[in-house]
């Protein structure tokens, strides 16, 4: 029987944790007693968000938050985070997010969103961390045949490059779990 880990003994890495959804998640984790490390390059956020998080949760919870301004594609920065904090799980929000922009900058979206995920899971694997929650999107359903959509609705070809990055990352993480069932992978599809 596995031993349950208390939240205060558990460190959660939140990539993109200074963004809108990430910052709200960080607040909930801190209020739940978790140690939280944010890695965010601030391309879609501001460092002021980290201060606001600390104000919202107050002490002593705010002392459980560490922030690194870094790109998730930066293997050295991620390795430093894992060596210093030993996160046992990751919630992955980091990535470019503008559907319209993805149409005019497909290579940038593929390189950033897929590249940072590959770097992240490789560093996770090197450090024995096999638990990831991925912030996906309902765009993986493409043009659905019927509504409403459910979790059982089939994925369809995406209608934009942002959607394709989410679709491909879901496949990568699913393949990772298939190859090694010890990986705990959760895919969140927002509407």
Known catalytic residues are 162
Nearest Cα residue to 162 out of 92, 106, 123, 122: 106
- 105 CB neighbour count, 10 Å cutoff: 16
Q: Identify any residues that bridge with 186 across adjacent strands, giving them in sequence order.
A: 133
Cα maximum dimension of the chain: 51
- What is the C-alpha separation between 82 and 123, in angstroms, rounded? 8
């Amino acid at each position: 029987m596995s031993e349950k880990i208390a939240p205060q003994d558990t460190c959660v890495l939140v990539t993109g944790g200074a963004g809108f959804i990430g910052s709200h998640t960080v607040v909930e984790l801190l209020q739940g007693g978790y140690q939280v490390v944010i890695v965010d390059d601030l391309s879609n956020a501001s460092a002021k968000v980290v201060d606001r998080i600390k104000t919202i949760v107050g002490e002593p919870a705010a002392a459980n938050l560490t922030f690194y301004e870094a790109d998730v594609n930066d293997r050295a920065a991620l390795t430093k985070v894992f060596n210093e904090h030993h996160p046992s799980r990751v919630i992955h929000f980091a990535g470019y997010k503008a559907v319209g922009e993805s149409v005019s900058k497909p290579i940038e979206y593929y390189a950033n969103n897929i590249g940072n995920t590959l770097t992240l899971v490789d560093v996770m694997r090197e450090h024995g961390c096999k638990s990831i929650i991925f912030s996906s999107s309902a765009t993986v359903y493409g043009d659905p045949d019927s509504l409403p959509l459910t979790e059982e609705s089939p994925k369809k070809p995406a209608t934009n490059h942002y959607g394709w990055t989410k679709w491909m990352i879901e496949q990568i993480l699913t393949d990772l779990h298939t190859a090694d069932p010890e990986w705990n992978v959760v895919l969140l599809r927002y509407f």
